[in-house]
Amino acid sequence: MDIIALPAFQDNYIWLLRQGQHAAVVDPGDADPVLAYLAEQQLQLCAILLTHHHRDHVGGVETLLARHPVPVYGPARESIAGLDHPLTEGDVIRLPALDLELVILDIPAHTAGHIAYVSQAAENPLLFCGDTLFSAGCGRLFEGTAKQLADALAKLAALDDATRVFCTHEYTLANLAFAAAAEPDNPARDLYARRCQQLRAAGEPTLPSTIALEKAINPFLRADELQIRQRLASELGITAEDSVSTLAALRAWKDRF
């Protein structure tokens, strides 16, 4: 199966999963790039997968359905027009045309009902996590709490290290700049930053990442690191006593960074 990044808006990616002449799309905020790719490649759309209700993730659903009446999967706890297969933690969806099985995780924080799709296939583990986890960062807390964020990130960090992480925004370089402020001494992060700068200079996506890489470079998955807590104390005068308070302080710092 091939996974193609379709750029949308300023920094979104719509992920298109392709097997032969069949395809599914994840978080199509804009129908135009999807329709163009389907037509160019003569593909048949078989499913739409949604992680949360924000317009830049669901805005293209109505137009896609007018041309391709397919199942629409998404979070049971959010109201999204066109969603006819509501999902929650532990649900499993099967897309036979793609030879793909996906398990659902509830990962609220960015939005109240945000979900993730996980393929646990040993040879090709995948994660489609919307706006909860970014490479070197995480999503803003629009509707959730720091405790929910901590729980959501813990679920994702517990996935197989080889799991490829398909988030939906090209925020990596900005996130890495903040990561350098939050944890200055991280050689793995600096190496990754150089690679990402080269990719963006060549017009290539920095994504997907992997769970192993994120655990090595992402400050929001490294909230227990002493250096990060020391930086919070020196930069913000905050003494964080646990991972939840550390995440809350990190996210607030990132919001104004």
The partner residues of 12 in beta bridges, in order of sequence, read: 8, 169
CA distance 151 to 103: 17
What single-letter amino acid sits at 169?
A: H
Per-residue tokens: 19: 């097997």
**Pairing outcome for strands 209-210 and 164-167:** antiparallel
CB of 59 closer than 8 Å to CB of 30: yes
**Pairing outcome for strands 100-106 and 133-134:** unpaired
Q: How far is CA 137 from the centre of its chain?
A: 10
DSSP-derived secondary structure for 134-152: ETTEE---SSS-HHHHHHH
Task: Give the residue numbers marked as catalytic.
Answer: 52, 54, 56-57, 110, 131, 169
CB of 231 closer than 8 Å to CB of 238: no
